[in-house]
Amino acid sequence: MIQKIYLLQEHSGKGYGYQLLEILEDYARNLGKRLVWLDTMQNGTALNFYLKNGFVIHKKSRLALPNAIEEERPMLVLTKEI
């Protein structure tokens, strides 16, 4: 299980995120998985990236961390068949 992956803003738009998703999906396939899922912020910039790369919105959720900023609590669970 992978907890968190972030790319620095300076590396955005260079294809690294797409390459990383490919590596992770290959890893999951090698484990016999047919579906991958992730959580992302409803208002975050990553949502469009994931949707563009084949993920679909599965359900809404909320970040349960006690010190999280209220505006950052709305989350989405995304899935992708691989």
pTM for the model stands at 0.87
Where residue 34 falls among pLDDT bands split at 50, 70, 90? very high
Distance CA 43, CA 73 (A): 10
CATH number of the domain residue 39 falls in = 3.30.70
Which residues form the domain of 39? 34-82
List, for residues 47-65, the tens digit of each pLDDT value: 999 999 999 999 999 988 8
Does residue 9 belong to any structural domain of this protein?
A: no
H or E, element range at 62: strand 56-62
Domain count of the chain? 1
What percentage of residues in the chain have a pLDDT greater than 70? 100
- Which range has the worst mean pLDDT, 5-14, 30-39, 52-61? 5-14
Q: What is the pLDDT of residue 65?
A: 86
Distance CA 73, CA 41 (A): 7
DSSP-H helix ranges across the chain: 16-30, 46-52
Does residue 49 belong to any structural domain of this protein?
A: yes
Where does residue 15 fall: left (phi above 0), alpha (psi -120 to 50 degrees), or beta otherwise? Answer: left
